[in-house]
Amino acid sequence: MAESTGTATATCRRELDLEIPADVVSKKMESVAKEFSKLARVPGFRPGKAPVALIRKRFADDIKGEVLQSLVPETVEKAVVEQKLTPVSQPQVEKLDFTEGQPLKFRAVFEVLPEFELGNYKDLDIEMPPMDITDGDVTKTLEEMRQRAAAFTPVEVRPAQNDDYVQLKIEGKPEGEGDPVQADSVMCHLGAEETMEPFNENLKGASVGDHKNFDVNYPADYPDSKLAGKTFHYNVEVLGIKTKALPEINDEFAKDVSDATTLDELKTKVRESLEHERDHRHKDMLREKVLAALIKTHDFPVPEVLVQGQMDVRLERVVRSLAAQGIDPRAVNLDWVGLRNGQQARATDDVKAELIVDRIATAENIDINDEELNHELEHAAQHSGESAAAIHARLTKQGTLDRMKSKLRSDKTLDWLAQNSKIRTVAPSETKSEAAESK
């Protein structure tokens, strides 16, 4: 029988000092030694005939190891059940005292889910910015569509001027360390906000066939990490000069860029699309604000092992984001350790939010039924090319179906919380003025 004492700290770390009676240990030692004697080969003795005393002496360390592997886990498991604890990390053994003929003593260290009381989670006061779709938003989208539908016309009789698009063959060498830049055909928009000024200065007045050499000093915050903070020596050849011809926004334009037959119909479709995107942004933002409110009103420690796991998840998102942009994460000069450590505060909030939402879901009997799960599988099937049944089978085999159910349950709970909150639409300027008055 094991005796135990537990110590609780301000964290989720638990330490159980456990003791296994000497007679239990001795019986296990005898049992393991007998098993060894059946299999062990000892010079001078036939298999299975060596004295147990000799076996215990010759294989002392191996026998002790078998005894520990047998008795320690079951003792820890029994103590955990007796004390109604829920470990979230593998117990680590410390302060092991294993002397033959004496009780086996050790300390089991692990983390558990925190115990906390739910605070107020109904009638949360949530402020949301106005997210109305205006005629100006529709006009802006139509202009973006117009820009994408523009045609480029070659310029034959004059040098390049402001607002022209100059087609270049370009070679760039960095000053100091770094990879060179080379492109056989790249378009440079003269006078555009995104165009570095040395390109504007050196290419205005240039003609097709001209060669130009100049330096460009890129700021440290330049979006392209290969160029940021560096000076490049460029050698460029002007391959062509083009102007951008924009189509007129009318019924013909609507037919060319969409399945609409009139401009009014296109405007209606654009507004509906913008409203659909707005609804998704509104839902995501509302969920984030609900989570922020819950975290603010609940203060309790969270298991470090879960925080570390969430830090890894956040780092993986950064890696996937870079890969999706065509950037090799291994080639990016980033302080990955510092980046990961910088995620700790947000990872802690992630874990805390997950625990709170799970507790609320249980308190309010919120769960996912088969119809809701099937709907999500059908939605996933539309984007993957697999059938819903195939996705269900694959997730079940991978052991990740429960993760999908958990995410659906969490989202459903957040939507329920939003429906039971007091949501006020507040203009950004109004929020700033209120904050200033409160100081």
Regarding whether 396 and 298 lie in a shared domain, the answer is: yes
Apex 206 CA angle, 201 and 211, nearest 5: 95
Range of the domain at 425: 264-438
What CATH number should be reported for the domain holding residue 232?
3.10.50.40
Regarding whether 379 and 230 lie in a shared domain, the answer is: no
Which of these three, 80, 111, 142, is where a domain ends?
Answer: 111
In a domain, residue 252? The reply is no
Which DSSP state fits 155? -
In a domain, residue 423? The reply is yes
Which of these three, 59, 85, 111, is where a domain ends?
Answer: 111
What CATH number should be reported for the domain holding residue 13?
3.30.70.1050
Regarding whether 426 and 286 lie in a shared domain, the answer is: yes
What CATH number should be reported for the domain holding residue 271?
1.10.3120.10
**Residue reference for tokens 């011809």:** 245
Regarding whether 195 and 281 lie in a shared domain, the answer is: no
Query: Does pLDDT of 8 surpass 50?
Result: no
In a domain, residue 251? The reply is no
In a domain, residue 83? The reply is yes
Question: Within 13 A of 306's CA, how many CA atoms are on the CB side?
Answer: 22
Task: Report the chain's mean pLDDT, rounded to a whole number.
Answer: 86
What percent of the chain has pLDDT above 70? 89
Q: Where are the alpha helices (DSSP H) in 98-196?
A: 135-148
Regarding whether 312 and 341 lie in a shared domain, the answer is: yes
pLDDT band at residue 50 using 50, 70 and 90 as cut-offs: low
Query: Does pLDDT of 4 surpass 50?
Result: no
Regarding whether 103 and 156 lie in a shared domain, the answer is: no
In a domain, residue 142? The reply is no
Which DSSP state fits 14? E
In a domain, residue 119? The reply is no
C-alpha–C-alpha distance, residues 48 and 35, integer Å: 9
Query: Does pLDDT of 57 surpass 90?
Result: no
Regarding whether 238 and 172 lie in a shared domain, the answer is: yes
> Using CB atoms within 10 A of its CB, is residue 160 exposed (0-12), middle (13-18) or buried (19+)?
buried
In a domain, residue 415? The reply is yes
pLDDT number for residue 144: 94
Regarding whether 378 and 230 lie in a shared domain, the answer is: no
Best mean pLDDT range from 174-183, 200-209, 375-384, 430-439: 200-209
DSSP letter string, 260-320:
-SSHHHHHHHHHHHHHHHHHHHHHHHHHHHHHHHHHHT------HHHHHHHHHHHHHHHHH
How many CB atoms neighbour CB 74 within 10 A?
Answer: 11
**Which tens digits make up the pLDDT trace of 60-98?**
677 788 888 888 888 888 998 888 888 898 888 888 888
Regarding whether 157 and 88 lie in a shared domain, the answer is: no
Regarding whether 433 and 394 lie in a shared domain, the answer is: yes
Regarding whether 424 and 307 lie in a shared domain, the answer is: yes
pLDDT number for residue 9: 42
In a domain, residue 117? The reply is no
Number of domains in the chain: 3
Regarding whether 426 and 381 lie in a shared domain, the answer is: yes
State the distance between the two ends of the chain, measured CA to CA, in whole angstroms: 61
**Which tens digits make up the pLDDT trace of 128-186?**
999 999 999 999 999 999 999 999 999 988 999 999 999 999 999 999 887 888 999 99
Query: Does pLDDT of 432 surpass 60?
Result: no
Which of these three, 111, 133, 166, is where a domain ends?
Answer: 111
